[in-house]
Amino acid sequence: MDDASEDAYNNAWKKKKKKDKDKDKEIYKEISSHSGSSNTEKKHVMVDKRTKAQIAADKAREQRKAEAIVEKASQTHKERIMV
């Protein structure tokens, strides 16, 4: 057999590598340690990346929703069905 065919033959019968369980254990320890010590974590400040126009539009949308809820709540059942 030549070298190329011999390598192909040997590669076909290679054993699969086992997964590294140590990495899984380290990740689990890291996650469990973070959930238990929330006081020591650095607090991340959320930065609003919306423009002023987007913020104003969202505020107006929320206001319209609130007005619609108040209007619907003030109607009687009969008025809601008739409309």
Q: Which residues of 27-48 are buried (b: 16+ CB within 10 A; e: fewer)?
A: eeeeeeeeeeeeeeeeeeeeee
Could you state, in order of their start, the residue ranges of all structural domains in the chain?
50-83
Q: Are 3 and 11 in contact (CB under 8 A)?
A: no
* Cα–Cα dist 69/65, whole Å: 6
pTM higher than 0.75, yes or no?
Answer: no
Q: What is residue 60's predicted lDDT score, i.e. its pLDDT?
A: 98
Per-residue tokens: 67: 């007005």
- How much is the mean pLDDT over the chain? 78
State pLDDT tens for residues 48-67: 899 999 999 999 999 999 99
